[in-house]
Amino acid sequence: MKRKIVLNVNNDSYEVEVEPGRLLADVIREDIGLTGTKKGCEIGVCGACTVLLDGKAVSSCLMLAVHAVGKKITTIEGLMKNGELDPLQKAFVDYGAFQCGFCTPGVLMASKAMLNENPHATEHEIREGLNGNLCRCTGYAKMIDAIKSVAGR
Amino acid sequence: MLIEEKFTVKAPREKVWAFLMNPKSLAPCVPGCEKVKAIDEKNFLVTVKMKIAFISLAFNMKVEITEMSPPVHLETSATGEESSMTSNIKAKNVIDLTSLSDRETEVSYRSEVSLFGKLGTMGQSVVKGKAKQLGKEFAEAVRKRLESKA
Amino acid sequence: MSRDFELLEPKTVKEACAMLSKHRDQAKVIAGGLSLLLFMREGLFKPRYLVSLMKIKGLDYIKHDAKKGLRIGALATHRSIENSKVVKAKYPVLAETFHRVGSMRIRNVGTIGGNLCHADPRLDPPPTLLALDAKVKVVGPKGTRSIRLEDFFTNYYETVIRPNEILTEVSVPSQPPRTGGAYVRFSTKTNDDTPAVELAAVVTLDPKKEVLADVRIGLGALAPTAVRAKKAEAFLKGKRPEEDVLKEAGMIASQEVEPIGDLRGSEEYKKEMVGVMLKRGIQAAFEKAKA
């Protein structure tokens, strides 16, 4: 049985009609139209679907959309502020920290959450924070350099 | 995965063989076995239900007797689908009966089971662990029925 | 994934129990939903009703006092326990264990109650909670029960919780002085993968000598449930953790479990690893207890 819910995504309110079984990743991508969040493994392991819920990184592929009601959801589209790239996004461009780009939104969201909690994270902490975001292309090195450059500020 | 078990029954070998070869007596001993339909002497359709906590599985299997040397050796081959249609199962089973005395028989079975699909990726070790437990229930059930008759 | 279910959202534990009583085996409790949704989307579980606990307030506390020890509300996330100042101070092995659960995303959503009730023997927290003599509080229409965690798990994904009961709290008693704990976890694939072998060791030293006065060992991923290695514990009691003692304890512990050979290792390999993990765990716990 469908129900109307309101989701707060990137500071905008979206009213959607969903069945209780709809997953947050699907509602964000299909109903709201924000396709920056990707679906990789769909079992919570790869991190491509990472979004922030009240600032905390979560797997949107393993969350019921109705469980996200009343929370502040941030997707990759919400990282830009007033047309300006987030420092993390700038660093990823400067360091060439992505290739195919599929894992990148998830990695950026996870890093954002990590740096929010720990703005001057050490390399070890950065590596630990990326635990659970899988990348098949880059070998992670440039990602870590990019994040380090933002943490160093 | 390999499931191997041995158990002893206080009954003569011929009786054990007859018991195992008769679907009517064997089926109730297999935990979760709900339906056995004989297509011919060598082919059967079997439905086995298995519950792992809140997960209910129902396997619809085709079982074929591939080799038979009464009253010593039996080989069967089974293929089936789980009713949610997300998993398949293949099993090759070998049963050997050894006479320990004229009143006691050792039953040893060996099953090579392959799980494909969702259960294969998610549940290998859980299904195997559960299958071992069910194997013990099977042995108990066979013993109970045969020893009360013998 | 099955769309044919109704999501019920009670505001109190009492309401939740009433809903479970009404719908019996057609209903299942959902908290963070991580484990449950996995089964549902694979079509292995199709409930008619999901009773979500996420609207119940006041069940995510982490409290401590010297008398009652540590009390954690069932809806506390793994992350909140990992980061809790009081857990880090008083039960560091517990904070370390919760740090190892999955990835940050899993820890932000998964709850301790959900973890225990899911009862997959390969999950991280149970061996440590077992080694700390944890208890759980379970509430139903007929009242409240306190159950030792040792008696809580019965089989793969099965516990002693009745269909209309809710786990509301996990408690860990105060530990005596000169107690130290270690959690060792061995996974054969990635850091956040399901463990092949996991072991938690909590030791209490004799007040005067460097001898193991009390030993508690929790094992996971090695049997249908997380278990205590009681025989190995009894063997180690009163002894010094020397090489040959630990080696024998390892062999005893490996005989107490029945690992299943799978993608993460053969039966023999896992049994061998029990010995290795036991040695590392006891040595690390011993060092912490001395400090």
Per-residue pLDDT tens for C144-161?
999 999 999 999 999 999
Residues of chain A in contact with residue C4, where contact means CB-CB under 8 angstroms, are 21
Rounded mean pLDDT of C253-279?
A: 92
**How far away is chain B from the Cα of C18, in angstroms, using its nearest Cα?**
20
Rounded mean pLDDT of C78-93?
A: 97
B121 pLDDT above the threshold of 90: no
Rounded mean pLDDT of C151-176?
A: 95
Whole-number average pLDDT of chain B: 87
CB proximity list for B14: less than 8 A, separation 6 or greater:
B71
Q: Please, which residues bridge with residue B8 across strands? A: B106
Q: Could you tell me the residue range of the domain that residue B119 belongs to?
A: 2-149
d(CA C25, CA C47): 8
* Residue at which a domain ends, from C138, C153, C172: C172
Pairing between strand C158-159 and C197-205?
Answer: unpaired
Mutation choice for C interface testing from B4, B50, B51, B54 by most C CBs within 10 A: B54
Q: Are C44 and B1 a contacting pair at CB < 8 A?
A: no
Tell me, what's the pLDDT at B120? 73
Domains in chain C, number: 3
Instruction: Tell me, yes or no, whether C21 and C92 share the same domain.
Output: no
Q: Please, which residues bridge with residue B111 across strands? A: B3, B93
For chain C, which residues lie within 8 Å of any Cβ of chain A, measuring from their own Cβ?
A: 1-7, 30, 33-34, 37-38, 40-41, 50, 52, 54, 79, 102-106, 108-109, 191-192
* Residue B78 φ then ψ, to 5°: -130, 140
- 3-class secondary structure, C32: coil
Tell me, what's the pLDDT at A56? 96
Report the CATH number that the domain containing residue B115 is assigned in CATH: 3.30.530.20
Per-residue pLDDT tens for C13-37?
999 999 999 998 899 999 999 999 9
For A3-78, the fitting CATH number among 1.10.287.610, 3.10.450.50, 3.10.20.30, 1.10.10.10 is 3.10.20.30
Tell me, what's the pLDDT at B50? 85
**Where are chain A's structural domains?**
3-78, 87-151
Tell me, what's the pLDDT at C149? 97
Tell me, what's the pLDDT at C1? 62
Q: Are C108 and A67 a contacting pair at CB < 8 A?
A: no
Q: Give chains near C: 3+ CB pairs under 8 A.
A: A, B
| Residues B2/B111, Cβ–Cβ less than 8 Å | yes
Q: Are B124 and C39 a contacting pair at CB < 8 A?
A: no
| The pair of three-digit structure tokens given for residue B105, joined into one six-digit string | 């028989």
B118 pLDDT above the threshold of 80: no
Pairing between strand A50-53 and C6-8?
Answer: unpaired
Per-residue pLDDT tens for A35-94?
999 999 998 999 999 999 999 999 999 999 999 999 999 999 999 988 999 999 999 999
Rounded mean pLDDT of C65-72?
A: 95
Rounded mean pLDDT of A10-20?
A: 96
Checking ipTM against 0.85, whether it exceeds it is: yes
Report the CATH number that the domain containing residue C286 is assigned in CATH: 3.30.390.50
| Residues B95/B128, Cβ–Cβ less than 8 Å | no
Report which listed range, B12-21, B133-142, C68-77, is most confident: C68-77
Rounded mean pLDDT of C255-268?
A: 89
CB proximity list for B28: less than 8 A, separation 6 or greater:
B141, B145
Omega prior to B71 cis, within 30 of 0: yes
Tell me if C250 is assigned to some domain.
Answer: yes
Tell me, what's the pLDDT at B87? 85
- Distance of CA C245 to CAs B78, C251, C253, Å? 48, 10, 12
Tell me, what's the pLDDT at A71? 97
Tell me if C57 is assigned to some domain.
Answer: no
Per-residue pLDDT tens for C127-141?
999 999 999 999 999
- Distance of CA C18 to CAs A1, B4, B113, C56, C142, Å? 22, 45, 42, 14, 11
CATH architecture for the domain at A87-151: Orthogonal Bundle (1.10)
| The pair of three-digit structure tokens given for residue A148, joined into one six-digit string | 């380090």
Tell me, what's the pLDDT at B149? 60
Domains in chain B, number: 1
Other beta carbons within 10 angstroms of residue C73's beta carbon come to 20
Q: Please, which residues bridge with residue C77 across strands? A: C111
Report the CATH number that the domain containing residue C100 is assigned in CATH: 3.30.465.10
Residues of chain B in contact with residue C158, where contact means CB-CB under 8 angstroms, are 53
d(CA C117, CA C75): 12
Percent share of chain A, pLDDT over 70: 99
Instruction: Tell me, yes or no, whether C34 and C73 share the same domain.
Output: no
Higher pLDDT, C197 or B124: C197
Rounded mean pLDDT of B103-124?
A: 84
Percent share of chain C, pLDDT over 70: 99
d(CA B29, CA B143): 9
B–C interface: beta-carbon pairs under 8 A: 52
Report the CATH number that the domain containing residue C47 is assigned in CATH: 3.30.43.10
* Residue C254 φ then ψ, to 5°: -70, -25
Q: Could you tell me the residue range of the domain that residue C22 belongs to?
A: 6-52
Give the range among B9-23, C5-19, C87-101, C230-244 with minimum mean pLDDT: B9-23
Q: Are A64 and C37 a contacting pair at CB < 8 A?
A: yes
* Residue A58 φ then ψ, to 5°: -140, 160
Rounded mean pLDDT of C49-73?
A: 96
Pairing between strand B43-52 and B55-69?
Answer: antiparallel
Whole-number average pLDDT of chain C: 94
Q: Please, which residues bridge with residue C6 across strands? A: C49
